[in-house]
Amino acid sequence: MSSRIHIDKDLVAASATPLVLAILDEGESYGYAILKRVRELSGGELEWTDGMLYPLLHRLHRLGYVTTDWRIPPEGRRRKYYAITEEGQAALAEQKRQWAAVTRALNDAWTRFDLVPATGEV
């Protein structure tokens, strides 16, 4: 249980977009803080290469899911802040539905074939 699970690269990539959108849905944020929040949420099990977050954020920006703004907070250094847009929230809702369907299907499969004890952990 306590040993770190190695999560497959493709799975990390697939979950990245909904995760970032969900974090931004909590409020606007900047790269480093987003990454810290990802670590926090996954209990350190989602290992991202830090740099890879930025191309992803830029893609979300291009798709119009987030807006960006360079600002200097009163304490600290100049940062690029990302805030979610309505389109982003719509995309997040859509992602949630898809992931719910996937997890439901997987859960069903696990319990039916009894591959893992149904502790609720997927």
Residues that bind other proteins (CB under 8 A): 30-32, 35, 49-52, 54-55, 58-59, 61-62, 67-68, 70, 77-80
Q: Residue 15 or residue 67: which is nearer to other proteins going by CB? A: 67
d(CA 20, CA 96): 12
Q: Which amino acid is present at 122?
A: V
SS3 120: coil
- Helices vs. strands in the chain: H and E counts, helices first: 4, 3
Q: Residue 73 or residue 103: which is nearer to other proteins going by CB? A: 73
Q: How far is CA 42 from the centre of its chain?
A: 9
Q: Residue 37 or residue 107: which is nearer to other proteins going by CB? A: 37
Residues 1, 15: contact at Cβ < 8 Å? no
Least distance (Å) from other proteins to the CB of residue 45?
16
Least distance (Å) from other proteins to the CB of residue 92?
20
Residues 6+ apart with CB under 8 A from 37: 23, 26, 29
Least distance (Å) from other proteins to the CB of residue 83?
12
Least distance (Å) from other proteins to the CB of residue 50?
5
Q: What are phi and psi of 66, to 5 degrees?
A: -135, 155
Q: Residue 11 or residue 13: which is nearer to other proteins going by CB? A: 13
